C-alpha cells in the first residue's frame, strides 16, 4: 500500500497539495508524532517500532509531522534561515520508504501552537486519527508551552484507552543521535559522518537556473541550483562528490557550495554542479543531489587557468570514487 498524505489546517483535513477537503476514515491507528527533520536513524527506529506495534495489533501506521518547522513559529524562534535537514518534499520522500499508511501534515501556526497538549491528544490523535497506540521518542514534548510529555500521554492513555510507548535514546558509538548533532557535522564538512547518522546521503533539491556560464568557458559547464527552501541547511563551503538522477540514470557530480571567490566578489552562497557524462539543457528542471564525500575546501585561484587545473584534479577524484 502506498503512503497517503493529508494536511491538517484550522481543524480541516485536506488532500495533500490540492487544498480540497479530504475524507479521513476513523480506524484504529498506531501513531508517532514529531518534526522528523532529517528522518535520521533515530527517527527511523521510532517509526519502525510504531510499525511493529501496528502489525501486532492490526492498526493503521500513522506519522504526524509539522510544516513549517515549529521553531519558525514559536516565540523565540531563530532569526534567519532555520537550517533544515529536509524540506517537506524531501521528508515526504524519505518517509515514503518507511512502510507508512498515512502521513498527517499539520500546518503549524500560532493558533495551533496555542492548543494544549490535552486538546491535541484528545481531539487530533484520538478523535480524528483513532490512536490506540502512541509511540514517541524519550525527549519528545508537545502542546502549548511544550507542556505535554510521555507522562501526559500515559495519564490520558489510562482515561481514553490507548497504549503508550517511549523509545529510549539512540546512540551511534558513544554519541547522541540528534538533528542538532547532524547539523554541526554538516556545517563542519563532515559529510560521511553526517550520512552515517542520517542513515542515507544528505540531499539538496532545487530548480536549475541560468548562471554566468564561466564554467562552460573552461570546459566544466555547471548546473546552477536555486534551492527549493531558503531554510535548507547547506553543508560547509567546498567541493563535494555527489550523485544525481536524470531521466532514470544516475550520474556522478562535482558539487560546489560556496561564494565562488575566483569568479565572483559578491560573497553570495551558490550551489552548482558539474555532472560527469551528461550534456544537455536542464534549465527549469528540478534536480536532487545527494552528497557522498568531501573533496576539498573552496579557495580563490589566481586565474581561470589555475582553477581549471584544480577542477581536472577534482574530476579525477570523483571518477575514482566507487
User: pLDDT tens digits, residue range 207-216?
Assistant: 999 888 888 8
90 in Cβ contact with 198 (< 8 Å) = no
Low-confidence stretches of the chain (pLDDT beneath 50): none
Q: To which CATH superfamily is domain 4-169 assigned?
A: HUPs (3.40.50.620)
Instruction: Report pLDDT for 270.
Output: 92
Radius of gyration from C-alpha coordinates of the chain = 22
Q: In terms of residues, how long is the chain?
A: 322
Q: What percent of the chain has pLDDT over 90?
A: 72
Host H or E run for residue 43: helix 41-57
The answer to whether domain 4-169 and domain 189-320 are alike in fold is no
Please give the Cα distance from 98 to 135 (Å, whole number). 15
Whose CA is closest to 10, among 100, 114, 90, 146? 114
In the chain, domain spans: 4-169, 189-320
* Domain 189-320, classified CATH 2.160.10.10, yes or no: no
DSSP strand pairing (223-227 vs 202-209): antiparallel
Instruction: Report pLDDT for 79.
Output: 56
67 in Cβ contact with 88 (< 8 Å) = yes
Instruction: Report pLDDT for 240.
Output: 97
Host H or E run for residue 245: strand 238-246
pTM of the model: 0.90
Instruction: Report pLDDT for 304.
Output: 92
Please give the Cα distance from 138 to 232 (Å, whole number). 26
Whose CA is closest to 88, among 18, 24, 36? 36
CA atoms within 13 Å, Cβ hemisphere of 270: 20
Amino acid at each position: 500500500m502506498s503512503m497517503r498524505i493529508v494536511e491538517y489546517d484550522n481543524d480541516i483535513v485536506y488532500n495533500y497539495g490540492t487544498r480540497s477537503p479530504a475524507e479521513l476514515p476513523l480506524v484504529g491507528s498506531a501513531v508517532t508524532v514529531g518534526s522528523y527533520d532529517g528522518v535520521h536513524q533515530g527517527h527511523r527506529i521510532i517509526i519502525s517500532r510504531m510499525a511493529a506495534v501496528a502489525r501486532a495489533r492490526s492498526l493503521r501506521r500513522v506519522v504526524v509531522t509539522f510544516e513549517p518547522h515549529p521553531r519558525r513559529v514559536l516565540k523565540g524562534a531563530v532569526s534567519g534561515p532555520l537550517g533544515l535537514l529536509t524540506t517537506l518534499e524531501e521528508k515526504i520522500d524519505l518517509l515514503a520508504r518507511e512502510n507508512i499508511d498515512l502521513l498527517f501534515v499539520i500546518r503549524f501556526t500560532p493558533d495551533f501552537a496555542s492548543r494544549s497538549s490535552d486538546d491535541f491528544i484528545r481531539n487530533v490523535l484520538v478523535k480524528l486519527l483513532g490512536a490506540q497506540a502512541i509511540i514517541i521518542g524519550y525527549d519528545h514534548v508537545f502542546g502549548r508551552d511544550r507542556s505535554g510529555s510521555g507522562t501526559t500521554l500515559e495519564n490520558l492513555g489510562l482515561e481514553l484507552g490507548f497504549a503508550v510507548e517511549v523509545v529510549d535514546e539512540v546512540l551511534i558509538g558513544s554519541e547522541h543521535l540528534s538533528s542538532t548533532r547532524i547539523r554541526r557535522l554538516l556545517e563542519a564538512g563532515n559529510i560521511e559522518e553526517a550520512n552515517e547518522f542520517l542513515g542515507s546521503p544528505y540531499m539538496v533539491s532545487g530548480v536549475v537556473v541560468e548562471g554566468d556560464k564561466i564554467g562552460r568557458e573552461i570546459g566544466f559547464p555547471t548546473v546552477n541550483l536555486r534551492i527549493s527552501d531558503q531554510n535548507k541547511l547547506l553543508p560547509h563551503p567546498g567541493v563535494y562528490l555527489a550523485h544525481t538522477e536524470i531521466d532514470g540514470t544516475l550520474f556522478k557530480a562535482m558539487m560546489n557550495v560556496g561564494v565562488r571567490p575566483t569568479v565572483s566578489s559578491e560573497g553570495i552562497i551558490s550551489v552548482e554542479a558539474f555532472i560527469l557524462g551528461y550534456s544537455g539543457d536542464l534549465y527549469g528542471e528540478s534536480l536532487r543531489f545527494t552528497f557522498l564525500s568531501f573533496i576539498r575546501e573552496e579557495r580563490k585561484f589566481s586565474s581561470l587557468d589555475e582553477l581549471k587545473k584544480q577542477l581536472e584534479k577534482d574530476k579525477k577524484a570523483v571518477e575514482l570514487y566507487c
